[in-house]
Amino acid sequence: METPRIRIENIDEIKVLVCHLIYSLGCPLTKNQLIEITSLEEAVNYFNLIAALDNIGDRLCIVEEADGETVYSNTKLGVKAARELGDTLPASVKEKMFDEAVKVYTRDAMKKKGALLAVRYVNNANGSCTVGITVKDEETGRQKYYLSISAENPERAEQIKNKVSQDPKAFSKYLDEYFA
C-alpha cells in the first residue's frame, strides 16, 4: 500500500511555509527558487503557490526585483508568522522543503560566484545547523556532489564551512577518491 502524500493546499498555510523557508535560511529567495523547492514531491500545488506569492507582499514579505528576478524577503510580520505559525505546518513537509531550500540556495550561490564550491549553513530550531555543500565539476561546470551535513551548533558549522572552503580542490579530490 502506498503512503499518502502530504500536501499543503491552503493559500494562507503556503504563505507561512514561504515565510518559514526564508526565515530558516536567513536569506531572500527568488520566485523560481520557491517554485523549485516546493515542487519537490508536489508538496504544494503550483497554482496555489502562485496565488500565495501574488498576495504575500507588503504584509508578510518584501517583494523586489533584482537581476530580472522577483525576490522575496520577510517583513517583521513575516518573521513573526514563521516563528509562531511555522510549527502548525506538517513537519515532514517543512523538513523536506528546508533540505531542498538549502540545496537550491547553495547551488544557485555557486552559479553566481562561478566557484568550484559553495558552502552555506542554516540554524535549525533545535540549535543544530544544516550545512549544505555543493561541489562543481571543473571540466563540465555541472554539479558534481551535493552534501548535507548536520552540525551540533553554529560554531561547529562554521568550522566545517571554513575547513571545506580553505581548499576546495583538495576537498573535491578527497570526495573523488572516497567514492571511487
CATH number of 31's domain: 1.10.10.10
Residue 29 grid cell? 529567495
Residue at which a domain ends, from 112, 130, 146: 112
Asked whether residue 138 falls in the same domain as residue 77, the answer is: no
Residues 87 and 149 in one domain: no
Tens digits of residue pLDDT in 112-164:
655 677 777 777 767 888 888 888 877 777 778 888 888 899 899 889 988 88
Instruction: Examine the domain organization and report whether 108 and 25 are in the same domain.
Output: yes
Nearest one of 30, 71, 172, 154 to 115, comparing CA atoms: 172
Please tell me whether residues 85 and 155 are part of one structural domain. Answer: no
- Residue 76 and residue 164 share a domain: no
Tell whether 55 and 18 lie within a shared domain: yes
Residue 64 sits in the same domain as residue 140? no
What mean pLDDT comes out for the span 48-57?
Answer: 93
Same domain, 94 and 141: no
Which domain, by its residues, includes 99? 1-112
Q: Looking at the predicted structure, is the pLDDT value of residue 47 above 90?
A: yes
Same domain as 128, residue 44: no
Which residue, 97, 112, 127, sits at the end of a domain?
A: 112
Four-residue CA torsion sign, 177, 167, 108, 93: positive
What is the domain count for the chain?
2
